[in-house]
Structure formats: structure tokens, C-alpha cells
Amino acid sequence: DTAVSQTPKYLVTQMGNDKSIKCEQNLGHDTMYWYKQDSKKFLKIMFSYNNKELIINETVPNRFSPKSPDKAHLNLHINSLELGDSAVYFCASSQKGANVLTFGAGSRLTVL
């Protein structure tokens, strides 16, 4: 049973489109995250939610909007996609206050 699952795994789209990535965890964790990994493998946090409440919001363009309907789900919606948004987006989860994150397999977004 997959602990942190993301869909879709691959996403190819045109500039200017809007797309969403979904994430679900079945670990009973309270905190969920979105990370972006660029082509050089640099992994940078974007958002963190604890029990549906936003607790970390990095300097991410407001075209990116996370949504957490419940503590097991964290979705990422991206408006007006740009070429620079091409990356692998990782969802992760942890117990509240814990330092150990469990990552999903990633969603590879390609913007043409």
C-alpha cells in the first residue's frame, strides 16, 4: 500500500494552461508538504499544511495555490503555467513537529 501517492505521475501541457496535482497520504500524519525539484536536483519547499492549516508559504508565485480538504490530502493547483514551472513536484508528509518526511514518487510537469 503506497504511503504517499501523487497523481498524475507525468503531466505535459502548454504554456498558459491551468493544471492540478493531487496528493494523498495514508500514514495518519498531520503535516503535508509540497516541494519542487528543478533539473539540477535542488529540492525546495513550497508549502506546508498542518491539519488543513497553512503553516509555511515560501516565496512562491501566487499562480500556485495549495488546497487541503482534510489532513490526508494536499492538492496543488497551478494557473497560467510558464516554462519555468517545468520540474518534478514532490508531496511529502510527517507527524506534527517531526523532522522526518515521507515523500511521494513525484509528479513530473513539463510545460511546452
**Whose Cβ is closer to another protein: residue 105's or residue 112's?**
105
Nearer to another protein by C-beta: 15 or 43?
A: 43
CA angle 97, 100, 101 (to 5 degrees): 100
- Which residues ranging from 71 to 90 are in contact with another protein (CB under 8 A)? 90
9: closest CA among 98, 88, 94, 97? 88
Question: Which residues of this chain interact with another protein, rule CB under 8 A?
Answer: 4, 40-45, 48, 50, 55-56, 58, 90, 92, 96-97, 99-106
